[in-house]
Copies of this chain bind each other. A is one copy, B any other.
Amino acid sequence: MVSSPSVSAETVRFERKRPDVYGDAHPKALLKAIHEDGEFLKPLENQHVASIDQFTPDMLLQLFRLAAKYESNPERFSTALQGKILISAFYEPSTRTRLSFESAWHRLGGDIMSITDRSSTGIAKGESLEDVAEMFNNYGDCVVLRDSNDASVHRMMNTLRIPIINAGNGIDEHPTQAMADLYTIFKWRPELIEKDLPAEQRIRIGIIGVPSKMRTVRSLLKIIAHFPEMVSEISIIHDKREREIFAAGQREALEAKGLTINTYTDMQDVLPELDVVYINAIAWIGDDYETFGNSFKLSKASPFKPDAIVLHPLARGDELATDLDGTPHNWYFSQARGAVFLRKALLTCMVQRAERVMDVI
């Protein structure tokens, strides 16, 4: 047994400042670009968040504005959720999304009760989801749920009298992740929110993933479809061997909203044309996960457009090389950071505390 080398004061020193390249995300620019109008947020006081389908563009823009306000003033509003209790129910393993929601709730001064192990819960006693929902009605003010069973959140919505956010249900959706993704894109280029955006300013978004199997991609495509004028094309890059790229009707529904979607199998060929490169390799199937697209790897050497940004919902594996972290393409760290502020905004509205943080009441 070797004695570990002496640890000096220098080796343990650290900096709090973020490296410049981590996509500073300019929340202030987005804050200025959107005019505050709290009316569009009011419906959120009585709605569960199950799917991107239920949102409107105006509601999303107001959420992004509030998120940008939070991100521009991270220390303020620390009592907005005082007295409110969040029930954080993650039946499917997660650290990232759970801590993101819990951090958001804590930063606003609320309290949290966590359920992280299905076997230690009443579910183990065979209790119905409807009864679990009625129980939650008595104990908290808001629920966040992740479950590999995609029907759970919908069943609970029938009985809940407090709001629930779907934090990932099976392979179906992950709405707040998609909101965080689009929030990041709009912070990067606020002009993209404009209704009459000149054609040459439209962006081409590449998605390296499988829309039929990844809930992050499913939700992302739906949210981009709320702002079809901002994209020239969605380029889906997939492994040649993938059969079912889209679920039945998925592509048609998106195209019906005005999106141009094309599919590709040669990433190197498409990459130089993309303004936003979104990549994800993990799909959660049941209680386990599969990795797709082993053939696609992004690294510093990939033929990116000079200004292109890379997004990834994380956790990442080999598909996103660490040598990209220190380059200006790295907006995936900014994406993760912004997700906390986006969730702060959504949670604030859902538990009827928006009036505490709006400029105009």
Chain A residues with CB under 8 Å of chain B are 1-4, 6-9, 11-18, 43, 46-51, 53-54, 75, 78, 83, 85, 87, 90, 93-96, 99-100, 102-103, 106-107, 111-117, 119-128, 130-132, 134-140, 150, 157, 160-163, 171-173, 212-213, 244, 247-250, 253, 282, 289, 314-317, 322, 333, 336-337, 339-340
Q: Please tell me if the beta carbons of A103 and B12 are within 8 angstroms of each other in the complex.
A: no
> Which residue in B1, B102, B119, B248 is a CB contact (below 8 Å) of A212?
B1
In the assembled complex, which residues on chain B have CB atoms less than 8 Å from the CB atom of A160?
Answer: 14
Given A7-B54, A282-B125, are A135 and B95 neighbors across the interface (CB < 8 Å)? yes
Report which residue of A3, A83, A161 has the largest number of chain B beta carbons within 10 angstroms of its beta carbon. Answer: A3
Identify the closest chain B residue to A15 (Cβ): B161
Given the known A-B contacts A2-B248, A18-B161, A244-B1, are A314 and B131 also in contact in the complex, defined by CB atoms under 8 Å? yes
Instruction: Tell which of B2, B6, B8, B103 touches A138, judged by Cβ atoms closer than 8 Å.
Output: B103
State whether B115 touches A117 (Cβ < 8 A).
no
Contact B172 A4, beta carbon cutoff 8 Å: yes
The residues of B that contact A13 with a CB separation of less than 8 Å are 46-48
Given A1-B213, A116-B120, A125-B289, 7 other A-B residues pairs in contact with their CB atoms under 8 A: A3-B247, A83-B107, A103-B138, A125-B282, A127-B314, A138-B336, A139-B340
What are 25 A-B contacts with C-beta separation under 8 Å? A1-B212, A6-B51, A7-B53, A7-B54, A8-B53, A9-B47, A9-B54, A12-B49, A12-B54, A12-B157, A14-B46, A15-B161, A16-B46, A16-B161, A17-B161, A75-B83, A93-B121, A94-B122, A95-B122, A96-B135, A112-B113, A126-B315, A134-B333, A137-B337, A138-B336
Q: Find out whether the CB atom of A9 lies under 8 angstroms from the CB atom of B126.
A: no
The residue of chain B having its C-beta at the shortest distance from the C-beta of A244 within the complex is B1
Q: Is the CB of A8 within 8 A of B54?
A: yes
The answer, among B3, B114, B130, B137, for a CB contact under 8 Å with A253, is B3
A9 — which chain B residues lie within 8 A by C-beta? 43, 47, 54
Q: Is the CB of B99 within 8 A of A139?
A: yes
The closest CB in chain B to the CB of A102 belongs to B113
B248 A1 Cβ-Cβ under 8 A: yes
Closest chain-B Cβ to A357's Cβ sits at a distance in Å of: 16
Distance between A144 CB and nearest chain B CB, rounded to angstroms: 13
Give the distance to chain B from A217, nearest Cβ to Cβ, in Å.
Answer: 13
Assembly CA distance A157 to B134 (angstroms): 34
Q: Say how far A248's CB is from chain B's closest CB, in angstroms.
A: 5
